[in-house]
Amino acid sequence: ETGVTQTPRHLVMGMTNKKSLKCEQHLGHNAMYWYKQSAKKPLELMFVYNFKEQTENNSVPSRFSPECPNSSHLFLHLHTLQPEDSALYLCASSLRTSDYNEQFFGPGTRLTVL
Q: What residues line the site for another protein (CB under 8 A)? A: 4, 40-43, 45, 48, 56, 90, 97-108, 110
Minimum gap (Å) between residue 46 Cβ and another protein: 12
Minimum gap (Å) between residue 10 Cβ and another protein: 10
CA separation for the pair 108, 11 (Å, rounded): 11
Cβ proximity to another protein: between 79 and 105 the closer is 105
Give Cβ neighbours of residue 100 (< 8 Å, ≥ 6 apart): none
Count of beta carbons in the 10 Å neighbourhood of residue 57:
12
Minimum gap (Å) between residue 93 Cβ and another protein: 11
Q: In angstroms, how far is CA 96 from the centroid of its own chain? A: 16
Cβ proximity to another protein: between 9 and 18 the closer is 9
Cβ proximity to another protein: between 15 and 54 the closer is 54
Minimum gap (Å) between residue 63 Cβ and another protein: 23
Cβ proximity to another protein: between 16 and 41 the closer is 41
User: Nearest-CA neighbor of 82 among 62, 66, 67, 68?
Assistant: 62
Opening angle at CA 88, ends 46 and 76, nearest 5: 50
